[in-house]
Structure 1
């Protein structure tokens, strides 16, 4: 499988610096149901599903502009939540590797509002990947100019409008004003970019999706069949 290379420098976020995650970053969010499959934690780096004390810990590093990540979301994501997470033996965390401004726009929107909405927000963006990525590929020069110039919030809002992210997130119950507040959060954007760069360096990640199992990068693992075999061996 061809790996997508990271292009973190393409973000060019003005004034990006290392920003501390707020004290609420470890807030635990237990969804209705009272079982491991319905537990969601917001972590320093992303969102974790399942038992936070699970012996086996899986982290997926994904990018929204990565086609292989969209494929994994449709196949592996559901399989993990249905067959592995409910056992309490494994937790599954999703983290972002920010590759470009479109990726950043999508990531900010999936984090928008109540953290317990992340799972469905993530699905909403990834499941409609084929639709909005085609709009990105066929964007006019005028559209691309709007994505590249002006304030960060203006650029991200232009991307959200041109790629129908607003429409997608409205189906999740978000208002345009709420989404614009999230897209204007430069502190959050900078923190995401900083965390992305730090994770890529820490684990030696060069493509997405990539997976870290119990602190170790799984070399050559970028799809569900390959990952599932290693999970079975680990558990």
Structure 2
């Protein structure tokens, strides 16, 4: 899905400026070989599954409002985590391209709580994509106005309420107050937007999902079928 024009429009709606990144990489524990499939750590731009010192490094750039990303989450992510990451030879990092306020609301919620919760949070949002995106498509003008005007926390909380993000995250064990706290983290929101814009510029990203393997953008690769061919060469 094309991102540049939608991303610029979305960031304008957010009122996001170019602030210094507030998120920093957390110290990553080293696990014995064979346990890499259970390794998850927050990086300075996303979340990394597997061996942080792997010889090969795969990055997925995704957006929560991207239908192709939702499809990949269902048929590609699991295969990567089960068939490739446990070997310790390749790591898999998920990074966000923030395109609009709905996307930002979902991204902040997936980051809510300890970094170890990200994988489950991410799946919970993506696996119910059709449900909440259907609600977004049918949103009334009054709802959309609530998403676009007022303070950033108020806008994101309105989105979370209207699209059932609160309900989805409550099945993950979160309470409303904790979720509101995550949606009110404006420093985190700006850091996400700044990192997103920097990644687009650095790698020349034009669509989601996009994949970078060992620092090189895989041109024309936006689904599991085409990505799998590149990964086959890794092993």
Structure-2-length-normalised TM-score? 0.94
- Compute the displacement of 1:234 (Å): 2.9
The CA distance in 2 between the partners of 1:39 and 1:48, in whole Å, is 8
The answer to whether the 8 Å contact 2:72/2:224 transfers is: yes
> In structure 1, what is the equivalent of residue 217 of structure 2?
217
The residue that corresponds to 1:68 in the other structure is 68
Deviation at 1:16, TM superposition (A): 2.0
Q: CA deviation at 1:36?
A: 0.2
Answering whether residue 7 of structure 2 is matched by residue 8 of structure 1, we say yes
Q: CA deviation at 1:77?
A: 0.4
Query: How many corresponding residue pairs?
Result: 231
1:219–1:206 Cα change, 3 Å:
same
Aligned residue number for residue 38 of structure 1: 38
Provide the rounded CA distance (Å) in 1 between the counterparts of 2:151 and 2:161.
Answer: 15
Q: Is the 8 A contact 1:29 1:42 kept in 2?
A: no
1:5 Cα offset (Å): 2.5
In 2, Cα distance between equivalents of 1:218 and 1:166: 35
The TM-score normalised by the length of structure 1 is 0.94
Contact kept, 8 Å, 1:8 with 1:193, in 2: the verdict is no
Counterpart position of 1:95 = 95
User: Secondary structure at 2:17's aligned position in 1?
Assistant: coil
Superposed CA deviations along residues 151-175 of structure 1, whole A, max 9, x for unmatched, are 0000000000000000000000010
Task: Please name the residue that 2:49 is paired with.
Answer: 49
The CA RMSD over aligned residues, in Å, is 1.6
> How many Å separate the matches in 1 of 2:121 and 2:165?
11
Does 1:85 find its partner at 2:90?
no
Report how far residue 30 of structure 1 moved. Answer: 7.5
Q: 1:34 to 1:230 in 2, by over 3 A?
A: closer
User: 2 CA distance for matches of 1:219 and 1:30?
Assistant: 32
Unaligned runs of 5+ in 2: none
Q: Mark the runs of 5 or more structure 1 residues left unpaired by the alignment.
A: none
> How far off is 1:8 after superposition?
2.1
Structure 2 CA distance for partners of 1:60 and 1:104, relative to 1, 3 Å = same
- Assess if the C-alpha contact under 8 Å between 2:49 and 2:91 holds in 1: yes
| Rounded Cα–Cα distance in structure 2 between residues aligned with 1:162 and 1:30 | 41
Q: Distance in 2 between matches of 1:42 and 1:213?
A: 19
